[in-house]
Structure 1
Amino acid sequence: MTQEHRNKSGFETRAIHAGYEPDEATGAVIPPIYATSTYKQDGVGGLRGGYEYSRSANPTRTALESTIAALEEGERGFAFASGLAAEDTVVRGLLNPGDHVVLPNDAYGGTHRLFDKVEQRWGLANTPAALSDLDAVRAAIRPETKMVWVETPTNPLLGIADIEALADVAHEAGAVLVVDNTFATPYLQQPLALGADVVVHSTTKYVGGHSDVVGGAVVVRDLDLAEKVGYHQNAMGAVAGPFDAWLTLRGLKTLAVRMERHCDNAERVVEFLRGHSAVSQVFYPGLADHPGHEIAARQMSRFGGMVSFRVNGGEPQALAVCERAEVFTLAESLGGIESLIEHPGRMTHASVAGTELEVPADLVRISVGIETVEDLIADLDHALG
C-alpha cells in the first residue's frame, strides 16, 4: 500500500498505517524510538533524510506528525511537549503584538490564562464572546482581529459552536479560525473540512488515551500556515521528545475503537444522571434539548465521552460527590481509558474564578472511560448519595 493510498483510506486504516512504512532494514511495523539528539551528515550540509538535530526533526516525531495530519486531513502536523506549548506556538507563529483574538467565553482555564496573563503581556488583546451566537462574535471582532479561537465542545460546559459558520465570519474579517479539537478528536469531528484553518490538540487526552504521556499537536490546512508554524516550532523548541511521540502514536492507533466505547458509556451515564433526583442539570451535546444539539449532530459523528452536571445542594454537595466516587478517580485531565471526576471550580478552572469565565460552583465534570458501564453507574449512584 503506497502512502498516497494510505492517506485516502478510512480513518481506522489511516490511524494504523499512515505516517510510517515498515523499516527497510528490519521490516519493523512500528516506528522505533529514535533516542538521538543529532545525526551524521553526508558531508557539510549533506543531510540524511532531512535530519540534522532532533529539535528540528526526529523520525519518531515525524511519524506522529504525519499520522495526525492524515487523520485531520490537513497539509502538515506538528507535535509539541504539551497542548499549551502547541497553542503558544500557533499564537506567536501567526500573530503579532497589537493583534486581537476572539476567545470563547467558556474557554478552558489554561487557554484563558495563556491569552490573558501571558500573551497579553506580549501585546496581544483578547475579547471573550459566546461563540454559539454569531452576532456576538461579529460584535467582538475589531479591525485588528486576526484570530478567532474556538472550542467545540467546550470545557467544561460542553457548549457547541458552528465551525462552518464561524469560519465564514472569521474569514470575512481577515482572521484565521483555530479550533481546539481535543474533546471531539479527529475521529468525531473534522474542523479543517468545515473551513477551519488550524486545529490544535492536547494529545495528553484522547489522542494519547492512556494517561501516561503529556503532549500537544497542531494541524494546518495549507503550506503557508505550515511554514509559519514549522519555523516557530523549531525556533521556540517546545517539541515532543521521541519517547513521548512514540507513546502518543501508539495511543492514536486505537483512537477509533476507544472513542466508540467512550461514547457508548457516556450515553448510558447521561441517561442515568438525567433520572437522578440529586442532579439538577446535565450538559451533554447528545441530548435533544441541548442548545447546540442540532449543530453537534451535523458536524460530529457522535457526541463524545465528556459529561458535566450540576447537583442539588451547591458546592458542598458537588465536592462531596467528587470525593465519594471510587471507580471514578478524583483527578484533573481527561480522555484516558479510566474514568475521572473533578470539580472544575476548584480544580481545572480555578484560574478563571472571579472572571466572566467562572464556572458554577455546583458543577461536576466527568471523563467517562471504557470500564464496564454498570460499574460506572453504580459508582455515580453511590457518590450522589
Structure 2
Amino acid sequence: MTEFDGDGTRCVQGGHPAPEAGAPFLSGPVLAAPYHLGGADRVGGADFYGRAGNPTWRALEKAVGDLDGGQCVLFPSGMSAISTLLRVLLSPGDAVVLPGDGYYATRQFVREELAEYDLDVREVPTPGPWPDDVFDGARLVLLETPSNPGMDVCDIAELARRAHEARAFVAVDNTTATPLGQRPLELGADAVLASDTKALSGHSDLLLGHVSVRDEEFVHALIRARTLSGAVPGPFETWLAHRSMGTLDLRLSRQAENARALVEALRDHPGVSDLRWPGSPDDPSHELASTQMRRWGGVFRFRLAGAEKVAEFVRRSALVAGATSFGGIHSTVDRRAQWGDPVPEGFVRFSAGCEDTADLVADVLAALG
C-alpha cells in the first residue's frame, strides 16, 4: 500500500484493515474475555484471554503509534498511562523531575501513592529556569508542553539532550498538543504519553490513555505491567476512540480556528486578563512553540475577576459549559482553582469546540458582557 503523510489521511486510514467487500470499514469491538484455544492448548500467537491481548486494542495502538512515531500501548485512562509508566520506571530512592505547573494529579500520585518509594522529587516550572543540577542523578524527567493549565512551553529537544547527558529517561505528556500537534519522540524524548479521553477521542464520552515508545523492551515492560495490574482498556471504548480518530484532523482544525478567533476577540476585553495561547504571535511561548509544534490546538487560558465572574459567564453563555475535561467538540471552561491548582480564583482554561466560529465568538462576548 502507498504510504501517505497527510494528517487527515493517516487519521482516517490508521489501523484499519484493507477494504473487503461486504465488510465494514472498521469492524466492531472484540468483546470476548476468553478465546478458543484450538483445542486444549493455545495455538501459536493467538489471543487466549482478553486481559492479555485484544485485536481491537492492537488496531488503535497501530494507528496512534504511527502518529506518535513509536509503538503505542493503550491504558484505560490517561492517569493509568502515567501511573504505569512511573511504576515501571522508578525504584525506591530514585530522583524524578516533574513540571511544577503541570497536571496536578501527576504530582499528587508521585507524592502520595508512591510515598513508600521515598523519591527525590524535584519540581521545575515548565518555562524554567532549568538549572543543570536538577538533572543530576535523575531517573526520570517528565515534561508537559504546552502545560496544563498554564499553556507554557519548554524546549523538548534541548531538555532531552541535557537529561540524556545525565542518563535520565525523558517522557513528555503530550495531551494538550496531541500527536498531530507535536511529536516528542522525534524531538528526542524516550516516551510520549497522553490522556486520549481528551482530543484524540474528542466526544467527551469515554476514558482512555496511552504511552508510546521506540524501545522494544520497554514496550514489553509496559504490556506486562498492564496485564498483571489489570489496567486494561475496554474494547468498546477502544473501538469508539478508533472510530473518532477519523475526524481528528478536522476537529483540531476547527478548534484551533475557534481558539484563534476567540483570543483575538478577547485580547482587548476589559474584563479579561492574563490571556495565553501559544498560537498567538504575541504569546511569550509562541517563538519556541513554533519550532516544535506542527499545528496549534484549541485550548487557551485567561483570567476573570474571580470565581463568581466565571460562574456568571457560564450561566450567561448558551454555547459554553463548565467541564473539567477538554478537547471535545463542545466548548467548555474549567475554573482550575477549584481542583487545587495553584492559580488565581478567576483562572479559566477554555477548550474551544467545533461550533460555528462566528456563533461562538458572539456568544462568548455576550456572556462576558
After superposition, the Cα gap between the structure-2 partners of 1:25 and 1:78, relative to the gap in structure 1 and judged at 3 Å, is farther
Q: Deviations over 1:265-320 (max 9, x none)?
A: 10000001102111122011122232221111111122210011012x33432343
Give the aligned partner of residue 139 of structure 1.
Answer: 133
1:108-119 alignment runs, 5 A limit: 108-119=103-114
2:273 is paired with a residue whose SS is: strand
The residue aligned with 2:275 is 282
Q: Which residue of 2 aligns with 1:220?
A: 213
Q: How many residues align?
A: 369
Q: 2:285 is matched by which residue type in structure 1?
A: G
For the Cα contact (< 8 Å) 1:38–1:53, is it kept in 2? yes
In structure 2, relative to structure 1, the CA distance for the partners of 1:45 and 1:23 (3 Å cut) is farther
Tell me what 2:25 maps to: 29
Secondary structure of the corresponding residue to residue 205 of structure 1: coil
- Does 1:77 pair with 2:72? yes
**Deviates most, 42-51 or 162-171:** 42-51
Aligned partner of 1:256 in structure 2 is 249
Hey, what does 1:383 align to over in structure 2?
Answer: 367
Contact conserved, 2:29 with 2:239, CA < 8 A, in 1?
yes
Name the TM-score, length of structure 1 as normaliser: 0.91
Trace 1:1-385 onto structure 2 (pairs within 5 A): 1=1, 5-6=2-3, 9-22=5-18, 27-47=23-43, 49-74=45-70, 76-133=71-128, 135-136=130-131, 138-143=132-137, 145-311=138-304, 313-346=305-338, 350-352=339-341, 358-385=342-369
- Shift of the 118–351 alpha-carbon distance from structure 1 to 2, 3 Å rule, reads farther
Distance of 1:44 and 1:200 partners within structure 2: 39
Contact map agreement 1:322 1:364 (CA 8 A) in 2: no
The structural deviation recorded for 1:96 is 1.4
Which structure 1 residue ranges, 5 or more long, are not aligned? 353-357
Please say which of residues 371-380 and 123-132 is displaced more in the overlay.
123-132
Aligned-residue offset at 1:197? 0.8
Q: Which amino acid aligns with 2:366?
A: H
Deviations 1:159-181 (A, max 9, x none): 00111111111111111111111
Q: Please tell me the residue identity of whatever aligns with 1:180.
A: D
- Comparing 277-286 and 374-383, the one that deviates more: 374-383
**Paired residue type of 1:305:** G
Deviation for aligned residue 1:44:
4.8
Q: Distance in 2 between matches of 1:162 and 1:201?
A: 18
SS in 1 for 2:32: coil
The SS at the match of 1:345 is helix
CA distance, structure 2, for counterparts of residue 120 and residue 160 of structure 1: 29
Structure 2 vs 1, CA of residues 23 and 32 (structure 1 numbering), >3 Å: closer, same or farther? farther
Moved over 6 A (4+): none
Cα separation, 1, equivalents of 2:337 and 2:233 = 30
CA RMSD in angstroms comes to 1.9
Q: 1:365 deviation in Å?
A: 1.3
Counterpart Cα distance in 2 of 1:284 and 1:296: 10
User: CA offset at residue 73 of structure 1?
Assistant: 1.0
Amino acid at match of 2:156: I
Unaligned runs of 5+ in 2: none
CA–CA separation in structure 1 for the residues paired with 2:235 and 2:292? 33
Contact map agreement 2:171 2:191 (CA 8 A) in 1: yes
Select between 258-267 and 92-101 the one with higher mean Cα deviation: 92-101
Q: Distance in 2 between matches of 1:273 and 1:323?
A: 18
Deviates further, 285-294 or 153-162: 285-294
Which is further off, 113-122 or 183-192?
Answer: 113-122
- In 1, the alpha carbon distance for the partners of 2:80 and 2:21 equals 35
